[in-house]
Structure 1
């Protein structure tokens, strides 16, 4: 029986009449992925870069999210074409690649996510969830339609090259990472520093100049709202592990006044 895949994040952004809002799953837990998926967010970012995730746990989280309206994106740990191929074969339709600072690096990412002759993604969809084991009509011929590719700008060099990165064919948008960007600017841990915010907003302008959506990570509510006002197409505003940590701390502070959280 033919199967039709869900719309990509690229398509969802294009159809949206407001910025899309999402959260991270950094626990590696499919249970937490489902909790987050059912909470009303637009986007679920499954992290392989800083979270204890391998292929099997990512697959379990994709399964957990598949029954909900949320759009899952997988952040791969690097631009390694083998990892990109494996994650796409798991059935991830949307990927985010960290630490992209030049147009050439972006071109390499785009090539890794597309089948020949446009790219160099390995052919294995008949054996994989990506093409639902040959149940998605013309998956190989239409592979690029079923995948959206976003790159993360996290360095001073990346900000300087933001427009050329965003303009690379096969890159569907850029995403700003203020944490590593602040470190690259000599402002480690100061994600909301005015200079960091200004660099993010310059990158927004660069992306919009070539007509691609721009996103950003912002857990501070005031900063997140400012980025939305500055034109962010999508924004990530929290993570499962952070939400759980702060929730436990609030409980401890309320019921155990002498606890570290309540001291």
Structure 2
């Protein structure tokens, strides 16, 4: 008998099966060890970041393989809205993608097209060669992939995207909207001020649009009190930390705890 394989639920399906916010963290280090530690932590989802982290296709695939041993749902952010890159990420086994800088309905349509096989899209067919289809071990993968086996989140992170949010949400194949506060603030001339009232008003506008379209909506927020506010407000998913940021703050706290007077070691020799 031929071997068969089953894929885990997509992020879209996981969100539909719960009535609480799904809490996740960013993976930027590329470390397989860190991925395994985070995957076994009890978090709901992990975002493997191909946009701002030094990750190759190989390191993304390795992290997906590690996460597969746990109940956590991995979501991969691609570097850009490019059909070739999206095809590669799907083939290496990413079921759930975040596409950054989606500013218009046309951008959203391009991302959906890249995820889907013809005639609905332009994804190249390579199921027999790819981990995404488990080398043709997933039953009827080619016919199920478009609507059942992959999910797409689009990142709303510019003032232009906010203005076009309703049109973006109306694009068939978009499964959720992910708000990027820092880039949104920068696009509004408020770089470094994601908590500015004008930025928060724009973010609320996206939340309102998503809810009007019965679409999941999520946000990045590393301030845990603010993240809790979004959870209390009923956002579907919240990215509440990052591996590198957690390590940076924890090591700083450790140093401060034991070296309160500052570093008194001799300066290193300069050569």
Paired residue for 2:180? 177
1:128 partnered with 2:121: no
Distance, in Å, in 2 between the alignment partners of 1:206 and 1:4 is 34
Matches within 5 A, 1:1-263: 1-144=3-146, 145-259=148-262
Aligned partners of 1:49 and 1:76 also within 8 Å: yes
Show CA shifts across 1:176-219 (max 9, x none).
00010000111100111121112111101101111110010001
Show CA shifts across 1:67-91 (max 9, x none).
1110000000000110000000011
Aligned partners of 2:24 and 2:43 also within 8 Å: yes
Distance, in Å, in 2 between the alignment partners of 1:236 and 1:54 is 22
Show CA shifts across 1:153-188 (max 9, x none).
000010111111111101101000001000011110
Q: CA deviation at 1:226?
A: 2.2
Aligned partners of 2:81 and 2:99 also within 8 Å: yes
Q: How many residues align?
A: 260
TM-score by length of 1: 0.97
Aligned partners of 2:64 and 2:74 also within 8 Å: yes
Query: What secondary structure sits across from 2:142 in the alignment?
Result: coil
Distance, in Å, in 2 between the alignment partners of 1:5 and 1:136 is 7
TM-score by length of 2: 0.94
Distance, in Å, in 2 between the alignment partners of 1:85 and 1:92 is 10
Aligned partners of 1:192 and 1:223 also within 8 Å: no
Q: CA deviation at 1:17?
A: 1.8
Distance, in Å, in 1 between the alignment partners of 2:74 and 2:256 is 34
Structure 2: segments with no counterpart, 5+ residues: 264-271
Query: What secondary structure sits across from 2:134 in the alignment?
Result: coil
Q: CA deviation at 1:222?
A: 2.3
Aligned partners of 2:25 and 2:240 also within 8 Å: yes
